Amino acid sequence: MKKMSSRTILTVLLFGSLLMMGCAQPQGPERPTTYAVSGTVTHNGNPVEGATVNFQSATGANGAVGTTDATGKYTLTTFAAGDGAVPGEYKIKIVKFEGAAKTDVVDESSEDYVAPIEGQEDTPPKNLLPEAYADATTSGLTATVTQDAAQVFDFALEGEAK
């Protein structure tokens, strides 16, 4: 049996979570109204590319997620790409995993393929941001989404990753 790399497992879990989040939500007119939410993520003053920004609702429903671009900007998605977030209180977690932006998949029949060493376990991907921001309960980051026009939440992360 072939072992899956930690990057592959992480990608499958991320997409599965997003799919389940979308499947569990009401569709059509029963959906709650969302409002545009965007912002910028910096770390020690520099824009962070490829970070996942996760707004976790205090009620546990209708969370929203976005990914930062090369300038650190993100736009949230709840039900459909870029639709924003449902009004409410949120705790935020932000992570950026080493190699997470890489989407190249090497075919096993390719001359570039390197088989995993038998008995050697993959190391989990390294979070390139300070660990406190990887958990919404320890990040100290919060936001209140209201029924106003487009809302901007910028996050200036400080500290060193371990």
The pair of structure tokens assigned to 155 is: 């996050």
The radius of gyration of the chain from alpha carbons, rounded to an integer in Å, stands at: 18
Q: Which CATH superfamily is domain 6-25+33-101+122-157 in?
A: Immunoglobulins (2.60.40.10)
pLDDT tens-digit series, residues 10-40: 554 554 454 444 444 445 568 899 999 999 9
Q: How far apart are CA 54 and CA 34, in angstroms?
A: 15
- Chain Cα centroid distance, residue 54: 5
Amino acid at residue number 147: Q
- 109 sits in the region (left: phi over 0; alpha: psi -120 to 50; else beta) called alpha
pLDDT digits (tens, 9 = 90+) for 72-100: 999 999 999 999 999 999 999 999 998 74
User: Are 61 and 31 a contacting pair, CB within 8 Å?
Assistant: no
Confidence of residue 70 (pLDDT cuts 50, 70, 90): very high
Query: pLDDT band for position 123 (50/70/90)?
Result: confident
Confidence of residue 108 (pLDDT cuts 50, 70, 90): low
